[in-house]
Amino acid sequence: MEVTYMNGAGNDFMVIDARGKNLDFSALAVELCKLTGADGFMAVDHSAEADFRLHFYNSDGSRGEMCGNGARCICRYAFERGIAGENMVVQTDAGLVPGRRISENVYRVLLNLPGVLDVNRLGTVSYVELGNPGIPHAVMEVSGLRWEMADSLREKAQALRHNPAFPKGANVNLYTWLDETTIRLLTFERGVEDYTLACGTGSGSTAVVLWAQGRLPGGELTVKNKGGDLKITVEGASGVVTRLQLEGPTEVVKTYEI
């Protein structure tokens, strides 16, 4: 079996072409992610609704609804293997995700729109679910956030990850403003149970919260994750998001024969 190790702004994945194969994806996710310490596992499958189907699993073997950086990586994987063209649609558990090749390394996807948006779910902590069923995200501002603060914030992030205010658990997104259109973001991911170098849906969810609060009037946000920068564009009216776009780098790191 050929396994491709990829990352999107540092968010890393083990990827296979599973079309026509009967495989235990949960078990594969656990074993393959151990090889590199990857955040997740993705399998490409046939789809009657889109160019291809994405099966996404976290490194602990739990199935995920969707992954923004994973979707960007899987678009590159599909294009470079002739599975889809430069413009494509990916079927995910959270809904259909259009993707586009911008350049050799840069890919853009339209994230699923918020199915739930509650800017005051837990005091100053907002809650967003992207898609239906949605990917759950808790969003909290941490003034002066720096990467080296991660360990001191771990207990708080873990508590929010399992807080009963979030019925499915939540990815926890901690952010601070760097300027009026740029934030620094630190994400503690459900299923990985640790910080990751980037989170695409977390970046999108944070942008949605800021837009809904009226703090992102232009709708464009640069998100500085530890693994790299992502660009989010939010469009909407009357408090309703109608378009949510994620753009950023992808990398093919290595191919394994397992």
Which residues are catalytically annotated? 67, 199
Cα radius of gyration (the chain): 17
**Residue 99 contacts by C-beta under 8 Å, 6 or more apart in sequence?**
71, 72, 74, 75, 87, 88, 89, 90, 107, 108, 109, 110
Can you tell me whether residue 162 is helix, strand or coil? coil
125-131/114-122 β-pairing: antiparallel
* Structure tokens that stand for 33 in this block: 């992610």
* Structure tokens that stand for 58 in this block: 């976290």
Please choose, from the candidates 81, 89, 33, the residue with its C-alpha nearest in 3D space to the C-alpha of residue 57.
33
**Residue 250 contacts by C-beta under 8 Å, 6 or more apart in sequence?**
6, 7, 8, 72, 73, 76, 105, 106, 107
d(CA 104, CA 92): 23
Please choose, from the candidates 230, 165, 166, the residue with its C-alpha nearest in 3D space to the C-alpha of residue 202.
230
